[in-house]
Amino acid sequence: MEPGGACRRGPTGHDRARCLEGAPRPSPPDTLRGVELVDGVLAGDRRSVARAISMVEDGAPELPELSAGLFAHTGRAYTIGLTGSPGVGKSTIAGELVRVAREGGRSVAVLAIDPTSPLSGGALLGDRLRMQTHATDPGVFIRSMATRGHLGGMALAAPEAIRILDAAGNDLVVVETVGVGQAEVDVAAATDTTLVVVSPGWGDAIQVAKAGILEIADVFVVNKSDREGAEAAVRDLEQMLRMGPELDWTPPVVATNATGSDGIGLLWQAIEGHRAHLETSGKLERTRRERLVREVETRALESMRANVRGGLERDAGLAEDLLSRRIDPYRAASILEERVAGA
Ligand code: GDP
């Protein structure tokens, strides 16, 4: 690509980000707010992106303003969720996916979410370091995120952070999380293709069924295929999928040895296959629409919940009336509803 070519060809966030890849980027001070921060993110400026994600972590009051500036520039990145127990090889696989994406000329961001930590950079810092071969590549952005202050937790923080990375011009956003209960479901709900990673000895297929993982996986990855038991794990999973309900997409089971870069090509093909299925069936558009509608619903409910709770806590008289049986819970609830609606 000739220098600056993408700048002239297209004004979109993605083209701009690509055009800036080779050019020195301005580094705005950390205190940047509002419009300048929006511009920084749209230009793919790394410090602006990092700052915006910190704001999501903290549930900063400026988030609505940031969202208003970025939203029109989102919806372009393809998103991949990576989930599984600690140690199965998620970060190593993420590093491999980054490599393949970069070989194909695509820009990529990795967001490592740690739902168990109140601070980012703790448990997942090691994972970031493991991917340091990509650290100097301007087409790669790697970041850990906790959900310390965000109202609504991961379910609301993850899509917001993904949109920031999308608006910054990344073609691909890989979201990695530790596979614990709700977090897995939240990440699956926030991404287009969900990879569930297991490794030999991790447990048999029944555990997958018990954990409810079957429903969220678009692709199963049996990593550490260099270890004994990998073939059996693949067989077990395939058999379980055959025994399960008829699905419009049957998750392929791919064996990988991420440290040896084996099977990564097949994994990439499986991801592309799922993407093609989503696109041709119209499911990509439907699920993205559904995802946005559900996010808005959750967001509205969270803020109403906070208002109702605050209203009840502030109104000692109402609580007193309730306790002394002067008004009943139905009446008290409708008083609160009226107040929230009129607020
Ligand atoms: P995560 O906790 O799921 O992100 O797992 P990591 O990517 O941090 O990997 C955990 C450990 O397993 C590291 O020591 C990796 O080098 C190792 N590992 C990852 N993939 C493979 C693999 O395919 N084969 C083997 N033998 N080791 C692997």
- Using CB distances shorter than 6 Å, the residues near ligand 1 are 84, 86-92, 127, 223-224, 226-227, 257-259
Domain range annotation of the chain: 74-281, 288-342
| Cβ partners under 8 Å of residue 157, min gap 6 | 56, 57, 59, 113, 145, 147, 150
Q: How far apart are CA 37 and CA 55, in angstroms?
A: 11
**Interval between CA 78 and ligand 1 midpoint (Å):** 25
> Which of 88, 90, 92 to probe ligand 1 with, by most ligand atoms within 8 A of CB?
92
pLDDT tens for residues 2-48? 333 333 333 343 444 433 334 444 444 444 456 789 999 999 999 99
Residue ranges of the chain with per-residue pLDDT less than 70: 1-34, 115-133, 135, 147-153, 179-183, 202-212, 343
**Interval between CA 214 and ligand 1 midpoint (Å):** 22
DSSP 8-state class, residue 26: P
Domain 74-281, what architecture?
3-Layer(aba) Sandwich (3.40)
Q: Which of 94, 88, 179 is nearest to 130 (CA)?
A: 94
Please give the number of the atom of ligand 1 that sits closest to the Cα of 258: 23
Contact of 223 with 253, CB cutoff 8 Å: no
**Interval between CA 223 and ligand 1 midpoint (Å):** 8
DSSP 8-state class, residue 103: H
The protein residue with its alpha carbon nearest to ligand 1, atom 27, reads 224
In the prediction, which pLDDT does 2 show? 35
> Which of 116, 259, 266 to probe ligand 1 with, by most ligand atoms within 8 A of CB?
259
**Interval between CA 120 and ligand 1 midpoint (Å):** 21
pLDDT tens for residues 209-218? 666 677 789 9
